[in-house]
């Protein structure tokens, strides 16, 4: 399986955002992963609508927006207007997750649901048929550059089984600590989309690193 690669803009040079986005346009990246943090759901603040709009003005690839915010239902339409193609909300942040997933779809965006490392995939049983993607956090959300959590492999297997059992078309996206060491096993277990932030942007040659991730299946 050839994975989709979604470099996380969080690790890019914000003072040269246009150049970073143009680099991603030229690369083998499939999507641009955009992390929104509110300082409440996670203990960090990233950026908001004006920055997403600025990225969208230069990006030639879909924007994969990951909302690490409380009450995401208040901001779905604004992120869609700012340019989001996929909008992912955290299960832990949504009291009425089914309603929020429908709200995302009503904007025309694809709907994703994210799970923190401690959240069992079995909680998706009654929503999996309605979502386009499940994002499994393989670090605790809030920061780039953290160490990959190994239990993620087991969660991918369980999620894959659930997707098959429920006849769902949901993609499995892995976010946090992804690199060339863990990518092959992530793909073997059933991952479809790999997010990579610091591994791409701190490498000497991001274009080459993205290409290497793209061809990392075994």
- CB 84, CB 111: distance < 8 Å: no
- The DSSP string of 81-105 is HHT-SEEEEEGGG-TTHHHHHHHHH
41 binds ligand DX5, rule: CB under 6 A: no
Q: Is 175 labeled as catalytic in the residue annotation?
A: yes
20 binds Zn ion (CB under 5 A): no
Q: Which stretch binds Zn ion (CB under 5 A): 43-51, 63-71, 123-131, 165-173?
A: 63-71
Is residue 64 a contact point for Zn ion (CB under 5 A)? Answer: no
Burial 50-80 (b: 16+ CB within 10 A, else e): ebbebbbeebebbbbbbbbbeebbebbeebb
Is residue 142 involved in binding ligand DX5 (CB under 6 A)? yes
Q: Considering the rule CB under 6 A, would residue 66 count as an interface residue with ligand DX5? A: yes
Nearest alpha carbon to residue 99 among 70, 117, 72, 137 = 72
Q: Which residues bind ligand DX5 (CB under 6 A)?
A: 8, 10-11, 33, 35, 66, 139, 141-146, 175-178, 195-199
Q: Which residues bind Zn ion (CB under 5 A)?
A: 35, 66, 175
Give the active site residues: 35, 175
């Amino acid at each position: 399986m050839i994975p989709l690669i979604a470099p996380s803009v969080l690790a890019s040079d914000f003072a040269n955002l246009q150049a970073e986005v143009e680099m991603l346009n030229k690369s083998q990246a499939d999507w641009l992963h955009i992390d929104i943090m509110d300082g409440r759901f996670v203990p960090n603040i990233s950026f908001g609508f004006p920055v997403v709009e600025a990225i969208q003005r230069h990006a030639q690839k879909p924007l994969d927006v990951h909302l690490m915010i409380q009450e995401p239902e208040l901001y779905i339409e604004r992120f869609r207007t700012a340019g989001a193609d996929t909008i992912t909300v955290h299960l832990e942040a949504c009291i009425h997750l089914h309603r929020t997933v429908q709200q995302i779809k009503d904007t025309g965006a694809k709907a994703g649901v994210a799970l923190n490392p401690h959240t069992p995939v079995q909680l998706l049983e009654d929503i999996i048929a309605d979502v386009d993607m499940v994002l499994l956090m393989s670090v605790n959300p809030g920061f780039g550059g953290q160490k990959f959590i190994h239990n993620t492999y087991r969660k991918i297997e369980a999620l894959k089984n659930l997707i098959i059992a429920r006849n769902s078309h949901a993609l499995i996206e892995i976010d946090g600590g992804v690199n060339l060491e863990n990518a092959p096993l992530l793909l073997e277990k059933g991952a479809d989309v790999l997010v990579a932030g610091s591994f791409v942007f701190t490498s000497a040659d991001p274009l080459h690193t993205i290409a290497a991730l793209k061809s990392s299946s075994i």
